[in-house]
Amino acid sequence: FSDNAFGDRDITLIATSVEAADDGLVVTGSGTAEFQVGNQGWIGLVPTNSPMTITESGDDYALVFTVTNRHPTDDQLLRADIDRNSDIFFNIFDARVHQDDRDFVLPSQESRSITVFLTVSEENLNNLAENEMSFDITLEVDGDVDKASSNATIVMVKPVPVDDGPDVEEFAWLTGNILFVLIGLGVIVAVLVVSFRIYSAATAPLEEISTLDTYEMTVDGSGWDGPEKEIPDAPMLPADDEVANSMYGGAQEIFEQPPEMPPPPSDPEPEPEPEPEPEPEPEPEPEPEPEPEPEPEPEPEPEPEGPELPPGVPPIPDAGLPEGWSVEQWIHYGQRWLDQQNSE
């Protein structure tokens, strides 16, 4: 039956013979069974001292239930037990039904008490998640014709209460919302101020100047201080500057300077005289060979003439130009080099 089934239920059973079916015969039989499902109201069960408050540890906390057999004629065999699926068993040491109240026969229309003992340790109270917590404990009673259950409330109090501070998550959420609102208001105000300034500048009347009669020049050195207030001539622009726009770019004097005179060549240091080699031992003189006929001497080739020099430039010495000199340098500094050699 389902958990929601309630009342009397009739079930019909049909049995068929298997061996008779093998012989080709059909042999069947049926019967009806009546079941009483759910709480029929024949058992009354109520707690007498609920809610119970526990503030100290102990093993003698007694929770009392009163059970009544409401059947008009029949006695009932009752069985009492605790539902172990309650959350209270995570916060107490133990809960048990008194030994004499677990199984008993209750006559018709009579009542009796069922006692449940609770054991609570100091650790159970100190480990409570809150300073005060409530739990439900369920007592179940099964009879021959009915079944009943009842809940009792247990209130457990922590011996040393913990002061509740502000909720960190709630405080952070509230602070974040306030900052978000303030930032939004600041952005809105800034946009409004900028928009107002732009609108004011756009709608302001334009200043029109129709005459310069009242205008006075106050810049020193402008040239407008004369009696006739004449405008001075404009300065010459770089486009009219023939010197700056020439091929030398205003640096003609630098390009026309003669090249610098190179320093006179330094006299090479005298090489050390080689040491005299030892004279070899005299060898026997060979027999004189016949002298060959003298070959005719070649005629000396005429020396090439030197480069033409401008007038006033001394001729190039017979030994040639000084070492490292060019003809152009000799043209400019040849006379000075000769004077220097003569003075030495």
**Whether residue 321 has pLDDT greater than 90:** no
**Whether residue 251 has pLDDT greater than 80:** no
- The model's pLDDT over 294-308, given as tens digits with 9 standing for 90+, comes to 565 555 554 455 667
C-beta atoms surrounding 153 within 10 Å: 15
> Residue 27 — φ and ψ, nearest 5°?
-125, 115
- The model's pLDDT over 142-197, given as tens digits with 9 standing for 90+, comes to 988 888 899 999 999 998 888 766 667 788 888 899 999 999 999 999 999 999 88
- The model's pLDDT over 78-113, given as tens digits with 9 standing for 90+, comes to 999 999 888 888 888 888 999 999 999 999 999 999
Mean pLDDT of 233-254: 59
CATH of the domain at 85: 2.60.40.10
Looking at the structure of the chain, the number of domains it has is 2
- Does 97 share its domain with 68? yes
- Does 121 share its domain with 22? no
Which residues does 33 contact at the CB level (< 8 Å), separation at least 6?
10, 11, 12, 13
- The model's pLDDT over 1-32, given as tens digits with 9 standing for 90+, comes to 666 565 566 788 888 888 877 888 888 888 88
- Does 31 share its domain with 79? no
Could you tell me if residue 105 is inside a domain? yes
Q: What is the pTM of this model?
A: 0.41
Could you tell me if residue 271 is inside a domain? no
- Does 13 share its domain with 102? no
Cα–Cα distance, 59 to 121 (Å, whole number): 8
Domain that residue 72 falls in: 43-157
Which of 157, 185, 206 is where one domain is finished? 157
Least confident of 65-69, 152-156, 272-276: 272-276
Mean pLDDT of 63-89: 91
- Does 153 share its domain with 86? yes
What was the pLDDT predicted at 115?
94
Could you tell me if residue 18 is inside a domain? yes
- Does 51 share its domain with 144? yes
Could you tell me if residue 151 is inside a domain? yes
Could you tell me if residue 260 is inside a domain? no
Could you tell me if residue 240 is inside a domain? no
- Does 14 share its domain with 81? no
- Does 25 share its domain with 49? no
Which of 132, 157, 182 is where one domain is finished? 157
Taking every pair of Cα atoms in the chain, the longest distance, rounded to a whole number of angstroms, is 180
Which of 157, 183, 215 is where one domain is finished? 157
What was the pLDDT predicted at 225?
54
Q: How much of the chain exceeds pLDDT 90, in percent?
A: 26
- Does 55 share its domain with 76? yes
